[in-house]
Structures are given as structure tokens and as C-alpha cells.
Amino acid sequence: MSTTTTTRRLTMAQAISEATAQEMARDPRVFVMGEDVGKYGGIFSATTGLLEQFGPERVMDTPISETGFMGAALGAAAEGLRPISELMFVDFFGVCFDQIYNHIAKNHYMSGGACKYPLVITTGIGGGYNDAAQHSQCLYSIFAHVPGLKVVVPSNAYDAKGLMTTAIRDDNPVIFLYHKGIMGLSWMSYFEGSTNEVPEAQYTIPFGEACVVREGSDVTIVTLSQMVQKSMLAADQLATEGISAEILDLRTLVPLDRAAVLASVAKTGRLLVADEDYLSYGLSGEIAALVAENLDTLRLKAPVRRLAVPDVPIPFSHPLEQFAIPQVDNIVASVRGLMTFKLD
């Protein structure tokens, strides 16, 4: 007897919907709701095929009432169901954030652990396709700032499937943020690296484990989501200049793999944080702070550098947007800049 191993490449969108479908098949408590998740299959195809497979009682289109259905997800989770609730664009969180951060995130704590809220919020993030200031943000820092939410931000299909399965099985609220520009949609240009081999069988990837997606010795690029793919391209270019970049894909912001960041920076002595969220008071600051807090054990060769959206709303026009959102060239230039320092 022989086992046939076929390698399958999936887009990140396919990986997410496959993870969801497999978990729905395994666990009847799981259901999906959100705007256009049914017949349309999700605006970013994160729920494609689910309605056909599971029917309208388990794949529910909702009115444009995010507070309504996020609150309903909480209420259903409290009763033991395991909702997956889609916020079409993360940019819309402002109409329903009270349900998310004051209730979904805190009720377990406020109940002293007596109540559980196993639910997943999926949402599309990121720009690069000229969708302007209200449809292009990342905002994961905000979800990571408020306590009580696990925050998952995958960079590729393989990780997305494993992390989504983990998310659905987690007994806590999880927000799963997928960047539109790595979903592999047929109508939006995307980074090839995000579409990769994905086993058909179910598997999980634990939260809180960052992944060294490229080893290197000169500089550490701490990054996530689409910016991982940009960093890979930058690293290729840097390699031709003799600069060896290590790329750390955080994968989850809560829990955060602090040890992995510190280990890599200890090795390379240089840190660039490459982020698509707003620069100030967010993710890039947190990672830089981690280094600042460990200056007694780390030996740095250069000050820390951060690359992020320079505290401006995402502009619509192509040249403006390309300027505002960090690109491959900016990563390359920042790393080059880091190499010019020689601390101590």
C-alpha cells in the first residue's frame, strides 16, 4: 500500500474558508454570520462555498447592523455556540466596537471566569488598491491594545488555515485579520508568496509563536501580514547587496512572541519594524519598546527603526497611497540606513 501525497496550493481566502468548512463539519456549534457571507461568499471570499455546504441556518447573511450581529454573536457564544462573525472591513469597527471591546473582550474577565465567549471575528484589512481612508486601514494595534482579544494576523495560506482552525477551537474571542492584498482574489493584485502549499487535513498552529520566515544575520525585520511578503522581496534585493536580513512574521499580536523578537535582535543587533498600521501609539512602538526594555541584555549595532503609515489617513490617489503605505523600496532603504550605524 502506498500513500499518495499531492501538494495543493491554496490562496489565503481558500485556506480560510477551508479551515472554516472543516471545523463546521466537525463541530455543529460553529456557524458563520455577517454581511454578504452567504450567496456572495464573503466580499473577500473568506466564506466562499459555505452556504452551499451548510445551508442558511449555519451561514447567515445579516443586515448592515454590526452592533446587532456582533452583540448577537456574543449572546450565542454565551449559550455554547461558536460563532464566526465577519466585520467586512476592519475600518467599520467604529460602529460596533463597544460590543467587541467592552463586552466580547471583557465579559469573561468581569464574570471572574464564569462565562466563556468562544467566537471569532474575521475582518479584512489593508490598503494598496486605492480604497481610500475608510477602507484601507490595518488597525490591529487597537484590537491588541485592549485586553481580552486574541489577535491573529496571518501572512500566507498555510498559516491562515492553521491559525483559523486554532481560532475557532479557542474558548476565547479571537479577531482574525486578513489582508485583502494577500487573499489571492481574482480581482486584486496580490503577493505570490501568500499563496502556498496547504495540506487538506486539518491542523492547528499555536498562537504566540512567531515564525522566522527567512533567516539572516545582519538585521531583523519584525513584521506581519502583507508586509511579510514585501519584506521577503526586500530581503532578496538586500541579499544582492550583501545584506542578510532575517524576517520574523509575528503571526499573532496577542499573545505576542516576545522571546522570538528578542532572540532575533540579539543575533543580528539591528531591528526594523515593518508595519502597515499607523506609526504612532501602535504595533511598531510596542516592538521597539521591547528592545528598549531589554537594553541591559541586548547589544545593538544601530538604533531601532520603524516603518509604518506616517500618521496620515490612507489617501486615495495612487502616488499618494504608494507614498503613505510602506513599500518594498522603503524597507530596502530603511535596512540600508540601519547598516550605516556602528553603535559602540
Partner 1 sequence: MQATTEQLLWMYEKMVEIREYEETMAKVYLEAKLPPKIQKGLAFDIGAGPVPGEMHLAAGQEPVAVGVCAHLRRDDTVVGAHRPHHFAIAKDVDLNAMTAEMYGKATGLGRGKGGHMHLFDPAVKFSCSGIVGAGAPQACGAALAARKLGTDAVAIAFFGEGAANQGAFHEALNLAALWKLPVVFVVEDNKYGISVEKSASTAIASNADRAVAYGMPGVLVEKNDAVAVFEAAGEAVARARRGEGPTLIEVKTDRYYGHFQGDPETYRPKGEAKALRQHDPIPALGALLRSRDLLDDESDAALRTRVSARVQAAYDFGRNSPYPEPQDALLHVFAD
Ligand X SMILES: Cc1ncc(C[n+]2csc(CCOP(=O)(O)OP(=O)(O)O)c2C)c(N)n1
* Catalytic residue numbers, as ranges: 66, 135
Under the criterion CB under 8 A, does residue 241 sit at the interface with partner 1?
Answer: no
Determine, following the binding rule CB under 8 A, whether residue 326 of this chain makes contact with partner 1: no
Residue 138 is a binding residue for ligand X (CB under 6 A)? no
Residue from 203, 212, 323, 339 touching partner 1 (CB under 8 A): that is 323
Tell me the number of residues near partner 1 by CB under 8 A.
Answer: 80
Q: CA 220 from chain center: how many Å?
A: 19
User: 92 vs 323, which CB is nearer to ligand X?
Assistant: 92
Taking CB under 8 A as the binding criterion, the range among 16-24, 104-112, 197-205, 299-307 that sits at the site for partner 1 is: 104-112
CB of 110 to its own copies, least distance (A): 5
How far lies 1's CA from each of 4, 343, in Å?
Answer: 10, 61
Instruction: Quickly list DSSP for 141-204.
Output: HHHHHSTT-EEE---SHHHHHHHHHHHHH-SS-EEEEEEGGGS--TTS---GGGSEE--SS---
- Closest CB to ligand X among 59 and 88? 88
332 contacts partner 1 (rule: CB under 8 A) = no
Q: Which residues bind its own copies (CB under 8 A)?
A: 67, 91-102, 105-106, 109-110, 132-134, 141-142, 144-148, 253-254, 256, 277-278, 280-286, 288-289, 291-296, 300, 302-306, 311-313, 315-316, 341, 343-344
Q: What grid cell was written down for 77?
A: 457564544
- Cβ burial, residue 204 (10 Å; 0-12/13-18/19+): middle
Among 92, 129, 203, 323, binds ligand X (CB under 6 A): 92
Among 78, 81, 95, 188, binds ligand X (CB under 6 A): 95
Dist. CA 110–CA 103, nearest whole Å: 9
| Interface with ligand X in residues 9-38 (CB under 6 A) | 35
Q: Determine how β-strand 9-10 pairs with β-strand 196-197.
A: antiparallel
Sign of CA dihedral 208, 212, 216, 219: negative
How far is Cα 237 from Cα 222, in angstroms, rounded to an integer?
Answer: 17
Query: Does 233 interact with partner 1 (rule: CB under 8 A)?
Result: no
The helix-helix angle for 328-339 and 226-240 (nearest 10°) equals 50
If binding is defined by CB under 6 A, does position 316 make contact with ligand X? no
Q: Which is nearer to ligand X, 90 or 243 (CB)?
A: 90
- Residues near ligand X, by CB under 6 A: 35, 64, 66, 88, 92, 95
